[in-house]
Structure 1
Amino acid sequence: MADVAREAAVSKTTASDALRGHGRVSGATRDAVEAAALRLGYSPNRNARSLRTSVTETVALHIPEVLTSAEYYMSFVFGVTEQATRAGLNVTMISSGHLPHRGALPQVDGLVLCDPMAGDPVVEALMNSGLPVVTAERYVGDKESTGVVCSDHETTTVELLDHLRDMGAVRPALLASDSTAERAATVLDTYRRWCVRNGLPDTVHKAPFGSPPEVPRAEVARMLAGSPETDAVVCAADGAAVTVLPEIRAAGRTVGKDLLLASCVDSTTMRLSDPPITAIDLRPRDMGAECARLLCDILSGRSPRGTVRSLPITLNTRASTGLPRP
């Protein structure tokens, strides 16, 4: 830093403020300091800065460990890391299996939690850590997040169910998740209320959260055998709709004709399936980026604690539910 200051002909304090974006530094001075740093190949020593300021310039990210291969969660991770990198922050991952160092909390400035589930001991420890926590969807436990980014899953689920009804379905069934995250509960509650409003019986089968493919397949097989009048199936979990296609065909049903199929989570496999599957685009990469952006804004004081931001989501209709609407 002293070398950069000499090169730019400013004080060491001014050079530090210019590179960190702090203090009252003119644009011309900041440009001169940044140019000097570039010529000298300067990069900040994060460890030294952390010791001096008690700021680690690192945030932690937690996602459900059993679904780290799911496209939704991987896209979410990319969104968080890209936005955090733009803000000059490192990102560290925390698994659901354990907290590092036998329960010790991570040395970070803040946390991003994706679909936090009540009852998960790691989630509860992180929510009670005293660190700023931004959650993707609301945490339904007894602790409030520092900030929330959420989507209107109720409205979009109703739009999906209305679409199935408009395409001729009179006995839609739901393959739900037993997850305690808000999104899963909202989909289930919305489906049941929709059935009541439309005077239809509800048919709900549940697959445990993060279960292997054979579990949702078995549930759908039981669903179609026990309720042969089912003419539409909505799958709540990421990837489940593609997984159950063989069971639907084995039952002698044709997707898009005598049985409509839809997913509450869109993905590449939904778009490329045969037939392509109607699904709700949750925009996971944008959700991850917005969570990281909100955490940065809270840490810097640009946004107050308790801020809630909304991320729009959309329904993509495809051939699995008949001809898409224009």
Structure 2
Amino acid sequence: MGHYHRGVQADEPVTILTVAREAGVSKTTASDALRGSGRVSERTRETVVAVAERLGYVPNGSARHLRKASTGTIGLHVPEVLTRSAYYMSFVFGVVEQAARHDYDVTLITAGQRRARPPRVDGLVLGDPLGGDPVVESLMATGLPAVTCERFPGARQADGVVWSEHALMLARLLDHLRSAGSVRPGLIVAGDESDWAASVHRGYQEWCGRNGVPPLVRRVSFDATGEEVRAAARALLGTGGGTPRTAGDALSAGGGTLGARDGLPMDALVCAPAGAATEVAPLLREAGGGVLLASCVDSAATRMADPPITAIDLRPREAGASCAELLFELLSGAAQPGTERVHPIELEIRASTTPRP
């Protein structure tokens, strides 16, 4: 605890009154000195700060928030389906860790909560908000400062956005697949209610257009089950089972007919939804193992797969921390409403896309 003077006992809790007594000033002066406010000389301020550091004084968080008319809490909401994913857990930890650095708590706002009034929080972090989600719509209508991870596809816009260049990264992934020998990559992707999924789909379509490749796409729901993902893969492979009734069910506009029937069978598959690549890997092996496989969401499962699966690392923990930090900057006035920041993501090339001889 340090060396005490003026009769401070070793087991005495260190309060602002303790600091004031040790520094020989009033409680108000000590408080003003530590807050950097009030009429306090620089010499007195330095003395009080030095005493506080020596005693190990830590300001009471509740008192600090009370002075700032703050709840000391931020709210966090993510699509309910993400609560089952490793990506979600990492994102949440990033938000919580950054909030702790600001002496804030985090409360999770779920779809099951019915509120007659806004949540008692200072601001909101909304992870990958879905267009048409009534919970997101109601939260954004509260007027509370809000930061989204990816843009919100709805009419309202958040005060801050942390987003990644998913279309650009997907193009890099497709270029890699082409260099590995692929001439007809396919894509399994969720609908455009998510800005992330829409960006991935757009990046794929643009790449196909630039390279003269007929698109080969299967859309699945945002919360697709393993069976739905496997059915999509069967449809793209043209192996029956999950083959759609019409080519339009599986292909984007201008895509032609499906799979091997157009003379250009799918030779690489990019799975956008989290966990989809590991779901379809056994199916691809059963089909002969000639299809390269990649995921738009990295995870422990893709890293530990046999063979390990090439994937885009979205760095969710860092994304969560960036969203929380931007929210705190908005709350303090260090950032202005409308601020957007790019969160870097990375391509991890692994054995599942080993170039063909």
TM superposition score normalised by structure 2 = 0.82
Equivalent residue, structure 2, for 1:316: 348
Structure 1 residues 165 and 323: alpha-carbon distance in aligned structure 2, compared to 1, 3 A threshold? closer
CA offset digits 1:149-187 (Å, max 9, x no partner): 111111111101111111111111110012512111010
Structure 1 vs Structure 2: percent identity of aligned residues?
Answer: 50
2:203 is aligned with 1:187: no
2:17 is aligned with 1:3: yes
Q: Distance in 1 between matches of 2:52 and 2:220?
A: 58
Equivalent residue, structure 2, for 1:279: 311
Equivalent residue in structure 1 for 2:128, among 107, 115, 118 = 115
Q: Distance in 2 between matches of 1:27 and 1:179?
A: 56
Equivalent residue in structure 2 for 1:240, among 273, 276, 292 = 276
Unaligned runs of 5+ in 2: 1-14, 244-258
Equivalent residue in structure 2 for 1:92, among 104, 107, 122 = 107
Structure 1 residues 45 and 162: alpha-carbon distance in aligned structure 2, compared to 1, 3 A threshold? closer
Describe the SS at the equivalent of 1:244.
Answer: helix
Equivalent residue in structure 1 for 2:80, among 22, 42, 65 = 65
Q: CA deviation at 1:9?
A: 3.2
RMSD: 2.2
Structure 1 segments of 4+ aligned residues over 6 angstroms from their partners: none
Unaligned runs of 5+ in 1: none
Counterpart amino acid of residue 222 in structure 1: A
Structure-to-structure mapping, 1:169-318, within 5 angstroms? 169-178=182-191, 180-224=193-237, 225=239, 226=243, 227-228=259-260, 229-250=265-286, 252-254=287-289, 258-318=290-350
Q: Distance in 1 between matches of 2:33 and 2:303?
A: 47
Q: CA deviation at 1:33?
A: 2.8
Counterpart amino acid of residue 323 in structure 2: C
Describe the SS at the equivalent of 1:95.
Answer: coil
Structure 1 residues 45 and 288: alpha-carbon distance in aligned structure 2, compared to 1, 3 A threshold? closer
Structure 1 residues 174 and 21: alpha-carbon distance in aligned structure 2, compared to 1, 3 A threshold? farther
Q: CA deviation at 1:230?
A: 0.9
CA offset digits 1:37-95 (Å, max 9, x no partner): 64xxx66262x665554211111111111221211111111111111101111111111
Counterpart amino acid of residue 235 in structure 1: C
CA contact (8 A) 2:147 2:327 kept: yes
Q: CA deviation at 1:18?
A: 5.2
Q: Distance in 2 between matches of 1:20 and 1:223?
A: 63
Describe the SS at the equivalent of 1:247.
Answer: helix
CA contact (8 A) 2:16 2:31 kept: no
Q: CA deviation at 1:236?
A: 0.6
Larger radius of gyration: 2
CA contact (8 A) 1:79 1:285 kept: yes
CA contact (8 A) 1:15 1:33 kept: no
Q: CA deviation at 1:2?
A: 5.6
Structure 1 residues 71 and 179: alpha-carbon distance in aligned structure 2, compared to 1, 3 A threshold? farther
Structure 1 residues 240 and 57: alpha-carbon distance in aligned structure 2, compared to 1, 3 A threshold? same
TM superposition score normalised by structure 1 = 0.89
CA contact (8 A) 2:16 2:59 kept: no
Q: Distance in 2 between matches of 1:128 and 1:2?
A: 40
CA contact (8 A) 1:78 1:288 kept: yes
CA contact (8 A) 1:179 1:208 kept: no
Describe the SS at the equivalent of 2:353.
Answer: coil
Counterpart amino acid of residue 276 in structure 1: P
CA offset digits 1:168-212 (Å, max 9, x no partner): 111111100125121110101111121122111111112211222
CA contact (8 A) 2:160 2:337 kept: yes
Structure 1 residues 2 and 230: alpha-carbon distance in aligned structure 2, compared to 1, 3 A threshold? closer
State the aligned residue count: 314
Describe the SS at the equivalent of 1:234.
Answer: strand
Equivalent residue in structure 1 for 2:97, among 45, 65, 82 = 82
Counterpart amino acid of residue 313 in structure 2: D
CA contact (8 A) 1:112 1:134 kept: yes
